[in-house]
Every structure is written in C-alpha cells, then in structure tokens.
Structure 1
Amino acid sequence: MERSELVALLSPEGLRLLDSLPEWDSSTDVVRTVAALRKEGHPPELVAAVLSQARLRAKAAGKFGEFANTMLFTEAGLEQATRLRVAALHAGRFAAAGVQHVADLGCGIGGDALAMAALELRVTAADADEVTATLASFNLAPFPRATVLHARAEEIDLDGLADGPADGVYLDPARRSSGHSNTSRLTRPEDYTPSLDFAFGLGDRLPTGVKLGPGFDRELIPAGAEAQWVSVDGALVEMGLWFGALARPGVRRSALLLGKAGSHELSAAADSADAEAGALGAYIYEPDGAVIRARLIGDLARSLDARMLSEGIAYLTADAAHETPFATCFRVLEQLPNDEKKLKAALAARGIGTLEIKKRGIDIDPATLRTRLKLTGSASATIVLTRAAGKHVTLLVERV
C-alpha cells in the first residue's frame, strides 16, 4: 500500500465507501464492481484501495473473526499478524504476571496490542513502517489505553514513555523482507529486525515475550526462557519465548494445541527423552507438530503406552488405541509393497482412486508419487511411508 493510497482510504469518503461495500466473497465480480464505483465518480486510486481492503477483511476473518470488519490491513501485515485467539493468550500472560504497561515493539497491524488493550492493559505499540503504524493506530483507536508510535524498536525509551514506564515488553521481530505485499521469508535469525540480541537483552531486564517462527533454531533458545510452540486446528503457527515473570515456574518446553474442542497443553521442564523403538503394533500415532517441535514425543509415547516406530522418526506405534488430543491415531490395516509398480497394482486391486500420502523419514514427494501411481478407482485411502525398525515400510491405514 502506497502512502497516497492510505491517505485516500483514511479520508471520510474512503471509509464511508469501504463500509458501504457488500461482503467480499469468491463470487464478487471485481470488474463490474470497479466499473460501478468509477461510474459513481470515485477516483481510481480510492476504488483500488477500498476493494483491496474489502478483500483483506474477508481474508482476515479467519484470524480476527468479526473484528476484521472494522480493521484495516496490508497483505504482509495480515499474513504476519497473530490470530486473535492466540493473541488473547499472550495478553493473558501479561495480565497474570501483574504487568500493567506493555511496550509492543514491532506491533504490525496491531493484533497483539488489540488483545492486550481489550484486557485493559496500557499498551504503547510501535512499528518502524509508517503505513503499518498508521493502520495499527486506526485498529487500536477504540482503546483509549493504547498508543501507537512510528518508531524503530531500538529507539523506544521504555522508561520515558508518555504514559509512564513500561513494565513488560512484547516483540514480534520482522522475519520477512520489508514491504506491504510479496515479501519473502528471512531464513537467517541474524537478519531479523530488531535483532535477537536486542530482544533477548530486554528479556534479561523485564518480563518479555518474543514471537518467533515454529522452525526457529532451538540451539538459540536462551536457557532461562520458556519456549512454547502453538498449533491451531492442527497447523503449527508460532513459537513464543517467555522471559522473567511471563515464564511459568518449572516449564521450559510446552506444546499448546488450540482447536474447536478447546485447548490442550503438554509441558515439561526440559526436552523429553525419546521412548525406545519397538515392533510395529496395530496402531500408529502421528504427533501434532507442536509436540514434535517441543521435543515432547517421549512423554507423549509413555502416556499412551506407545513406542517409537523407528529411532529419530516422529511416529509412535502401540498395540491399543488411546484417545489423545496430542496425536492423530491410525489403525494399521495392512502392509503394502514398497516397490512402486507393485504398490500401484495393490492400490488398483482395492479400487483406490483418491489417496492421502503421509510420510516421514522417506525422501519422496507425495504429490509426484500420487501422479505416477495414476489411480482411477472410486475408493479413498491413506498410506504412510516411513521406516519401522530402520526399514522402509508402506502402511495402509485408517483414522481412528
């Protein structure tokens, strides 16, 4: 979003026009809508801005629910924003720790700050990008205890803020290239903005939370921080590091799963030792990605009376099925041939035309394999390509 486009959007005419548009969906005829708005006399730049916002608001509903209808976004800002459900848990940590004034440094479009302000915490949010800071200011306007600054995180004087000194800090370091759309992911932690040294340094002084990608290098996790991996509806979305009073006593590794059935957490004082590998049983379990990243597979295995299917591979196996929110359970129906031609024949003989392929520890692309198998039957099935006792196996399974 260019600055001139933002100015047009934030004008009284722009906001009225945006709120007057029908809800955006897949059936929206963009060409016809543009033509109609231009016929009404609206300038091209304004039409482009409001239609872009209407599309982004519809896209944002998955993260912000009904709040999306009153917020403004950039493409990159929405992609990087914390889901409101997760942001509410972040805010709850600060409230539970007795923090009263949070400095949200690198606030983006204001998702986390919004959740904090909703709990009546005082929030000073800051972002280095002028457009993003302006959108955050708009999104936080309903909350009188929230202030937004256009400034780099490193420039903020935490003791000299207008609303008093901050007694807690939240950082979401930029992990993508600069810009408002078509950004690329930064793969090296040393390229993050602000730097990890800056973020972790604040953690030595104040209760601090740092949002990072779930694939963050575990070797860089400070020893005194609580590391929590979060998945939402089975999708791994973030890893949070919590310092000082925000870190729970005795917890250094945590896997938090949020879904339609509620929330479930597996936690420990350290990485858990893997369970021993053993023979393939009647069932296999695929742990949630948060459990895998938190390295709590061993604790999960012991709670299920399960064993590792093979050393170093995140599948568990057991002789009985146990209900757990932390893994998907599959019944092993039979072992199929590993040879591709024989596998194709075996699947064809069973009338399987729709195939879900799951794999771990096997160097193969499921989409490419599915294409090569050329299945045409009417039945559907799931196969697991992995290793059992170190040997390649192909298992026909069904979800329990």
Structure 2
Amino acid sequence: MADAPQDQIAHLLTSEGWELLASLGPYRESEAFSVNAGLRKAGHSPELVAAVLTQSRLRTRAEAKFGEFARQMLFTQAGLEQATRLNVAARHAERFVKAGTGHVADLGCGLGADSMALASMDIKVTAVELDEATAACATINLMPFPHATVVHADATAVSLEGIDGVWLDPARRTTSSSGTKRIWDPEDFSPPLSYVESLAASGRAVGVKMGPGIPHDSVPAGCEAQWMSVGGDVTEVALWFNAVARPGVRRAALVIGARGAAEITSGEDFGGGPLPDVGPVEGYLYEPDGAVIRAGLVADVALQLGGHLVDEHIAYICAPALRDTPFARAYKVLEVMPYNVKALKAWVKANGVGVLDIKKRGTAVTPEELRKQLLPGGKSGGKRGSKTATLVLTRIGEERVAVVVEPVAAAA
C-alpha cells in the first residue's frame, strides 16, 4: 500500500530524503522506471524512492505556477491542484499593501503561495493549515521569509487578535484513495463562506479565493467579486471586503495574457448594467473571455465593441467592424448556414476541409462527435482535404445555426 501524503513528506524531511531529492534532475516520465530501479539498487528504501520520485514529478508540474521557485519547494497533489499561481498571488498581496495592512492571517494557506507573496512585500504573515502534510510543505516553502509563521491548526480556531487582514483559500476538494473530488457548495468548503462573512463583519480587510463557478446568488452583498483568467483559463473569483474592496466596483473581470493584464469592471449588481442589443450574425464574431462571462460583463464588452449579442441568452457578440480587445477572441464571419449535418458534410467535402475546429455555445451538439460525422476518413475510409476551417455552432432563438468563421490574429 502506498504511503499517505504525510508519510511521504516525512521521508523527504530526513537528511537522506532531502539530499536525494536535490540530486535528481528534471522529472521525465520515460525515465521514471529506470531511475526508480537505480535508486533502489543504490540501497534506498522503496518508500523513500517513491516519495522522492512523486515529489520530483510534482515539482516539474508546479513550474507552471511557481516557475523556478518550484525546484526548492515541497508539494502535495491536492495542494498543487488548488495552489494559486505566484503572479496571481502577488496581485492578492498588493490589495493588502494598498490597504495599509500590517499583519495578515492566511487561513487555509495550503502550500503557502499567497503567504509567500504577502511576506515578500514585508507584511507579517500567520499561515494556518489544518492538513498535516500540507502544513509541513508550507513550513519548508516559507522558510526563506522571516516575516512568515506557519501554524498547524483549524483555521476557525486560531486567535486573530492583533491581526488586521485575513486571506482565505478554503479547501474545495476532498481527498480519498481514488484521488481528489471537487466540492461545489460554498457552505461545504473548509472554512465555509459564512465564516468568511463573519470575519468581514468584524471590519477587517478580508479577501477569499473561490472557485470561478460560484453562482452569482451565492456572492455576499457588500463585497467586490473579481474573476480572473490566466492564459485563457478562468482560475478563480476573489471576493474582497472592507478596505481591500475598491469603491464603486461590484464585479470585475481581470484578464492576464501574453499582452499583460486588462480589466473591465462594473458598479452594478449582478443582473444590472447595460441592456444588450440583439442582432444578426455579421461582420465579426467575438467570443468573450471566460472571466468576462462569469462576471456577467458580456453586454459591457459588446458596448465597448459597438456590437450586439446574437441571442440574449448566449455569450457571442457580433459587430460590423473589427476592434482590438483583450476581453474577447475575434473571428471574421464568412458564411452562416442552418445547422444540418448532411448539408455541413457536403460543405466540408466541397471546400476540401481536412482539419475542422468546432466551437459551440447554446447547443447540445458534441464537437468531437460532429467532427467524426463531417470529416471523411472514418468508417468509409475516404480521403480528407487539406484545408483548415472553423465552425461556430450556436442558437438564435429556436433556430440552430452553423457559422463559418476565420480566426483573427491577436494584436502583438
């Protein structure tokens, strides 16, 4: 039976384990078997070898979030899945700096990413983590920061006397022998959202990281909700209370990409804001960033673009002219057809299409299954064409349509 996470971490905290881990190069799956055999042949226990190789694999995966810092950190599988990217954690920390916060409690600190960012900005940090293995990892990860202290305890049981800011990243997954499973109800998080609200009621500067799929009606009144996407992936929504909330901002979408960061905000509550126009599929079709959609700011982006929605319930925007925007991906509309598999198959053949990208919104069509139906070379053994095409499947009222589009290259 494999060691529990706390036992694997305990192996690494010995001098033998730490030195062995440091001696390994970058993890490569193709070499794992031979490395395992070599280390065991050298006299290391199977348990230690398993712990070292697991950690080496996690460090390699963690580079996407932590960069070169990952090489000196310790991770758990569940902790890494929920961990905040360092560039995002820095933005969290900036909120507390601007609010003049001197001492922040990071409740449910996980592996310590947000605590690292806070401590690097000379804020005193008390990092609290209930899970024993994760707390051990956080202790190692925060060793370079003298302003940070790790406490292994229940986040709701720690005294906050003398602490003027609180950051929370509630556990949103459960771990079992079959892996990790996401929790959806905010009241089942650890700690629950109601506890966050009770902290905010004390007047402290409070921020909490939530899953981006939180329903709008679960977002507490009186806070700022900022959805964030990184490289096109929606990573979180952060709820900000009191001094770390921006005046006049109820909801926001922060988009971080190759061109830097851009944000769109609204002071209106959910369901408020501009009323979107609805019009035909024409000119250029825009696919809003996921953070924009989650924040309910699609109509605001449509207004910026001088465009309209193709259906009031679907997040596709059309505009007669091309405008550069960080908040949506642009496509030139080439052709609009009724959705009909037989007609689409004929269209694919007539146009020599061999590679087909299918996007969809507002329809139950499965792109993978439709692609198999439309492209030759399946059971019939036909020959595919050489052209690449993009189809957008959507609904306009009760009518399903297929829109042939051409992706517009993003501005440098």
**Which bracket does the TM-score occupy, shorter chain normalised?**
over 0.9
Q: Give the alignment of 1:124-203 within 5 angstroms.
A: 124-159=126-161, 165-178=162-175, 182-203=179-200
Q: Give the alignment of 1:40-59 within 5 angstroms.
A: 40-59=42-61
Structure 2: distance between partners of 1:327 and 1:86: 21
Structure 2: distance between partners of 1:221 and 1:22: 45
- For residue 341 of structure 1, report the CA deviation from its aligned partner: 1.3
Structure 2: distance between partners of 1:20 and 1:176: 32
Structure 2: distance between partners of 1:230 and 1:393: 31
- For residue 390 of structure 1, report the CA deviation from its aligned partner: 4.8
1:316 and 2:317 equivalent? Answer: yes
CA offsets per residue over residues 186-228 of structure 1, 9 Å max, x none? 1222211111111111112211001001110110112210000
Aligned counterpart in structure 2 of residue 252 of structure 1, from 246, 250, 254: 250
Q: Which moved further from structure 2: 382-391 or 248-257?
A: 382-391
- Tell me: CA distance 1:385–1:302, structure 2 relative to 1, closer, same or farther (3 Å): same
- For residue 377 of structure 1, report the CA deviation from its aligned partner: 2.1
Calculate the TM-score normalised by the size of structure 2.
Answer: 0.93
Aligned counterpart in structure 2 of residue 9 of structure 1, from 12, 18, 23: 12
Could you tell me whether the CA contact under 8 Å between 2:282 and 2:320 is conserved in 1? yes
Aligned partner of 2:119: which letter? A
SS class of match (1:362): coil
- For residue 179 of structure 1, report the CA deviation from its aligned partner: 5.3
1:208 and 2:209 equivalent? Answer: no
- For residue 108 of structure 1, report the CA deviation from its aligned partner: 0.6
Gaps of 5+ in 1: 160-164
Could you tell me whether the CA contact under 8 Å between 1:286 and 1:329 is conserved in 2? yes
- Tell me: CA distance 1:380–1:358, structure 2 relative to 1, closer, same or farther (3 Å): same
Structure 1: distance between partners of 2:99 and 2:267: 20
Structure 1: distance between partners of 2:310 and 2:303: 13
Calculate the TM-score normalised by the size of structure 1.
Answer: 0.96
Aligned counterpart in structure 2 of residue 21 of structure 1, from 17, 24, 27: 24
Q: Which moved further from structure 2: 232-241 or 379-388?
A: 379-388
SS class of match (1:143): coil
Corresponding position of 2:407: 399
Structure 1: distance between partners of 2:50 and 2:248: 52
Structure 2: distance between partners of 1:203 and 1:34: 50
Structure 1: distance between partners of 2:224 and 2:177: 32
Corresponding position of 2:381: none
Q: Which moved further from structure 2: 76-85 or 185-194?
A: 185-194
- For residue 360 of structure 1, report the CA deviation from its aligned partner: 0.9
Structure 1: distance between partners of 2:349 and 2:145: 61
- For residue 336 of structure 1, report the CA deviation from its aligned partner: 3.3
Structure 2: distance between partners of 1:2 and 1:259: 34
CA offsets per residue over residues 256-312 of structure 1, 9 Å max, x none? 001111000001102423411012221111110111111111111111110111111
Structure 1: distance between partners of 2:369 and 2:201: 48
Q: Which moved further from structure 2: 336-345 or 377-386?
A: 336-345
Could you tell me whether the CA contact under 8 Å between 1:74 and 1:180 is conserved in 2? no
1:279 and 2:275 equivalent? Answer: no
CA offsets per residue over residues 32-78 of structure 1, 9 Å max, x none? 10111111111111111111111111100000011111100011100
Structure 1: distance between partners of 2:85 and 2:172: 17
Q: Which moved further from structure 2: 272-281 or 93-102?
A: 272-281
Could you tell me whether the CA contact under 8 Å between 2:5 and 2:76 is conserved in 1? no
What CA RMSD, in Å, does the superposition of the two structures yield over aligned residues?
1.4
Identity between Structure 1 and Structure 2 (%): 50
Q: Give the alignment of 1:294-333 within 5 angstroms.
A: 294-333=295-334
Structure 2: distance between partners of 1:13 and 1:377: 58
Q: Give the alignment of 1:371-382 within 5 angstroms.
A: 371-375=372-376, 376-382=384-390
Gaps of 5+ in 2: 377-383
- For residue 25 of structure 1, report the CA deviation from its aligned partner: 3.1
Aligned partner of 2:406: which letter? E
- Tell me: CA distance 1:65–1:336, structure 2 relative to 1, closer, same or farther (3 Å): same
Structure 1: distance between partners of 2:64 and 2:131: 25
